[in-house]
Chain A
Amino acid sequence: MNAQPDLLYSEAEDDLRAAVRSLLSDRGDTAAVLVRAEAGAPYDPELWKALAGDIGAAGLLVPEKLGGHGASHREAAVVLEELGRGVTPAPYLTSSVIATETLLALDTETVEVAELLAALAAGRRTAVLAVPLSASPYGPLPVDAPRVTGVADAAVADVLLVLKSDGLYAVDRASANVEAQTPLDLTRPLAAVTVGDTARATLLADTATAEQAVRRGLLAGAGLLASEQLGLAEWCLEETVRHTRERHQFNRPVGSFQALKHRMAQLWLEVVSARAAARNAADALATGSPEAPLAVAVAQAYSSRVAVHAAEECVQLHAGIGMTWEHPAHLYLKRAKADEVALGTPGRHKEALAELVGLQAP
């Protein structure tokens, strides 16, 4: 029988959460995020330095002997919950999870791989996979693509990890052409990436290793995205409860109307369920369980919908004010909707699940 997954938070995980939350609140609120996003530079470099370096969040997945903190996906998931709560623009999912996990699946004895991993783990550099944010762990990957669109966080990455027919390359962003696109989600910028010849690139792995590694990176990303979605949904629910308790119409708080109470209670149930699914995925990835693909597919198929539902309810129950540019609800709605497409839609994950559990299509 399989060991039971640990679905709770450890004390160390609670401490990490407290540290990240306090950092995020020190570094400003969603209004600040919006101002920066409108200026075309949503990232806060000081925040990244503190998060990746001082708190050490960038090195959670990397073993100590490779320059990291030797923690696991469980801790990284907690960081993502907090980043989701704040819709914080930071290349954490893309660099510290997906790119890092990809590199960990390569031969880490290789000097180039080891050096890059150490730099990522310490927060000195960031790297992103040159694949669209919408790429799922199961679908086709852009190999030898002259131009890859929809690459998340490419504009702030120091290094692009590029799939070529002869393997995986590390390319300096400076030597590639990165054109910003206009994203639905202002807090996770997208770009079109054109990599010329590979003369100035470093080959990290051969073709077979590369594809497997990239899929492993995307799987970890998809699994931990569920935690970001959980944090996001949780914020939407809390904010909606707070608002509807305070907002009075008809001489009573609108939150006392049963039609709204039931919708919020329903959302609470979804958030509680999403937490169990997200913890299960994080734990399966952390322990290297053979059930990780199943746990990830379940978490993604479920949590994407919950985040979108929470953000949509947040707008509707705030009503007029929720529809304004000034109120943060739209940042959450846009992130939630983009996250639903990111790393495989719920439908793609369900298709994968159908194979995994033997519930084949007609």
Chain B
Amino acid sequence: MTDAAELLTRTKELLAAHPPAGTDRTEFLKARFDAGLAWVHYPKGLGGLDAPRSLQAVVDAELTAAGAPENDPRRIGIGLGMAAPTILKYGSQELKQRFLRPLWVGEEVWCQLFSEPGAGSDLAALATRAVRDDEGTSHSSEAGSGGDWVINGQKVWTSSAHVARWAILIARTDPDLPKHRGITYFICDMTDPGVEVRPLRQITGEAEFNEVFLTDVRIPDAHRLGEVGEGWKVAQTTLMNERVSIGGSRIPREGGMIGPIARTWRERPELRTHDTHQRLLTLWVEAEVARLAGERLRQQLAAGQPGPEGSGMKLAFARLNQEISGLEVELLGEEGLLYGDWTMSRPELVDFTGRDAGYRYLRSKGNSIEGGTSEVLLNIVAERVLGLPSEPRNDKDVAWKDLTR
């Protein structure tokens, strides 16, 4: 098995062969991927070395110290956190070879075509249809596959769709089955002429997310992940990884949303009141404890004893981000009445703790909605972690086409 010493040697070799100072950013990242140092727990030949996940830190520390460029995970988070693990688990060898390298390097951005106007929390109710066209296969389809799939429907709140080259997509292949059973999982080419991306402006004034209209979009059968009708199962891999990725990185004290308000407090004594002091200290304590809980989760994962804590961290951070940024606007008083810029734009990445307090306050409202609402996450904790019984349901054994909409 690959150990820390070997990884360190390989990292040093990489740095020697491609000195960061004199190497083009993308070239360096490609070389890093090929050396198996991108995500060491991935298989050999796919950016990894089949090493324990915990040893990634060894590589990262050495590369950071040497000033090596990063792949900017904020810009390609959906690819790294959701598409990649799903492709790794369900993709053919060709798909893995084709997609993982440009995904990790950041040459190809991914987006997630899951939510629909009628299917948010109840994602399995989705209506976008995928029908197999046995007549023709498109030029892009690979050898050994069945006919193309033809996709029609609408997706919504799709982050990064305007910059994405590829998408993970779930669509209904059998409306006669109960909703969880008639879904299939695909990789969708965002340059297909049938894909139309329209910006969807949000409460911050800009448009991070989009509406995506799919009209006769053709997808080769080779770009299907998992069996036909098994899309819900495949999607669980995507969604689980979405939540695990949160505990992944180490945050320094005051590293999150509490940082800006703590700085303001220290630098601007004239803003202080007794009431805001009490509330700030309470939130500071909660933020520090949440940071420690994230750190503990990270240590559990590294020690190979993943706990169910992952599902909880997102809940904690969503509430904290909202309360802290809300207090910050209030603390700023007259300044809190102003907003940086309402101009409509389409950003490439989200800077959660950047910009002004008003932006942070508004953007953090999404933290308890995106990636599963807090209410839904509480359901998950209650049922899967605590083992509490589910509410009586009336949607499980009904064909999808007979559900009320």
Contact = CB atoms under 8 A, between A and B. Distances in A.
B292 A265 contact: no
B269 interface: yes
A5 B291 CA distance: 12
A357 B292 contact: no
Interface stretch (B146-154, B226-234, B381-389): B381-389
A8 B299 CA distance: 7
A56 to B, nearest CB: 27
Interface stretch (A34-42, A108-116, A124-132, A255-263): A255-263
Given A261-B379, A266-B378, A362 B274 contact: yes
B271 to A, nearest CB: 9
A8 B390 CA distance: 32
Contacts of A245: 387-389
A258 B293 contact: no
B206 to A, nearest CB: 31
Contact of A268 (B269, B303, B386): B386
A276 interface: yes
Nearest to A306: B289
B249 interface: no
Interface of A: 4-8, 241, 244-245, 252-253, 255-258, 260-262, 264-266, 268-269, 272-277, 279-280, 298, 301-302, 350, 353-354, 357-362
A265 B312 CA distance: 9
**Interface-central residue, A4, A253, A273, A354, by most chain B CB under 10 Å:** A273
24 contacts: A6-B299, A241-B388, A255-B389, A256-B388, A256-B392, A261-B383, A262-B375, A262-B379, A266-B378, A268-B385, A268-B386, A272-B293, A272-B312, A273-B286, A273-B290, A302-B285, A302-B286, A353-B284, A358-B266, A359-B277, A359-B280, A361-B277, A362-B272, A362-B277
A316 to B, nearest CB: 16
Interface string B388-399: 111110000000
B289 A277 contact: yes
Contact of A269 (B265, B381, B390): B381
B66 interface: no
B312 A268 contact: yes
B343 interface: no
B88 interface: no
Contact of A265 (B277, B293, B300, B378): B378
Contacts of B290: 273
A8 B296 contact: yes
A359 B286 CA distance: 15
Contacts of B293: 272-273, 275-277
Contacts of A272: 293, 307, 309, 312
Given A7-B299, A264-B388, A268-B381, 7 more contacts: A245-B389, A253-B388, A256-B388, A260-B388, A269-B312, A354-B277, A354-B281
Contacts, number: 128
A255 B379 CA distance: 12
Contact of A262 (B273, B307, B378): B378
Contacts of A255: 388-389
* Nearest 7 CB-CB pairings of A with B: A261-B382, A362-B272, A265-B381, A276-B292, A256-B389, A7-B296, A276-B293
Contacts of B379: 258, 261-262, 265
A203 to B, nearest CB: 40
B288 interface: yes
**Interface-central residue, A256, A261, A298, A358, by most chain B CB under 10 Å:** A261
Contact of B281 (A266, A279, A280, A353): A353
B131 interface: no
B68 interface: no
Interface in B90-121: none
B292 A7 contact: yes
A277 B295 contact: no
A298 B282 CA distance: 10
Contacts of A6: 299
Contacts of A256: 388-392
A205 to B, nearest CB: 34
Given A245-B388, A264-B388, A276 B295 contact: yes
Interface string B29-44: 0000000000000000
B392 A261 contact: no
A359 B300 contact: no
B316 interface: yes
A268 B309 CA distance: 9
Interface string B80-92: 0000000000000
A361 B386 contact: no
Given A268-B386, A269-B381, A280-B292, A298 B285 contact: yes
B246 interface: no
A273 B289 contact: yes
B217 to A, nearest CB: 38
Interface in B346-405: 375, 378-379, 381-383, 385-392
Given A4-B295, A272-B312, A253 B389 contact: yes
B56 to A, nearest CB: 15
Given A298-B289, A362-B272, A276 B296 contact: yes
A276 B287 CA distance: 12
B391 A7 contact: no
B168 to A, nearest CB: 28
B332 interface: no
A291 B309 CA distance: 25
Contacts of A252: 389, 392
Contacts of A358: 266
B177 interface: no
Contacts of A359: 262, 265-266, 277, 280-281, 284
Interface in B302-329: 303, 305, 307, 309, 312, 315-316
Nearest to A271: B312
A94 B322 CA distance: 40
Contacts of B316: 269, 273
A350 B385 contact: no
Contact of B382 (A264, A280, A301): A264
A298 B309 CA distance: 20
A302 B292 CA distance: 12
Nearest to A351: B281
B333 to A, nearest CB: 13
A279 B307 CA distance: 16
Contacts of A354: 277, 281
